[in-house]
């Protein structure tokens, strides 16, 4: 059994009923896995939420395990952003924090934006990805 950290786009797809994400995630849970989010996901989702979506958004996010962004995770994210920039890959700070949460807690990141978490087609070292197709 594993815990899967959901990328924000996956959470948004669930809320909007797109790409059969509900079925996929329900299948992972039926197999005994857990689903999770972090502060970045919450902030990004609420930044794009319309007022009439608040109840469903709150319910979904609160149903997920929640992983804190600690001092060490923040440092790791900054270092990761720096390392990737030195390799010619510009990652958003949000993506580096999400990746650092996943790596620090030993979570598998569920994403349909594999390119956001890779360099030259290879995943960030130490990051476990569960790649989805949009």
Residue 46 reports pLDDT greater than 90: yes
Range 3-131 classified under CATH 3.40.50.1010: yes
pLDDT band at 133 (very low <50, low <70, confident <90, very high): confident
Give tens-digit pLDDT for 25-39: 999 999 999 999 999
Q: Do residues 86 and 119 make contact, with C-beta atoms less than 8 angstroms apart?
A: no
Strands, DSSP E only, in 23-78?
34-38, 65-67
Report pTM. 0.94
Give the largest Cα separation in the chain, rounded. Answer: 43
Q: How far is CA 113 from the centre of its chain?
A: 10
Give tens-digit pLDDT for 116-128: 888 777 788 899 9
pLDDT at 39: 98
Provide the terminal-to-terminal Cα distance of the chain, rounded to the nearest Å.
25
């Amino acid at each position: 059994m594993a815990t899967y950290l959901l990328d924000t786009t996956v959470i948004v797809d669930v809320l909007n009923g797109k790409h059969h994400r509900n079925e996929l995630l329900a299948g992972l849970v039926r197999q005994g896995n857990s689903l999770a989010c972090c502060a970045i996901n919450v902030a990004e989702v609420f930044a794009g939420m319309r007022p009439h979506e608040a109840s469903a958004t709150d319910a979904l996010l609160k149903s997920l395990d929640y992983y804190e962004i600690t001092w060490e995770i923040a440092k790791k994210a900054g270092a990761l952003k720096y390392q990737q920039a030195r390799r010619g890959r510009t990652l958003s700070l949000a993506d580096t924090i999400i990746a650092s949460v996943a790596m620090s807690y030993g979570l598998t990141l569920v994403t349909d934006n594999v390119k956001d978490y890779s360099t030259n087609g290879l995943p960030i070292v130490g990051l476990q990805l569960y790649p989805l197709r949009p």
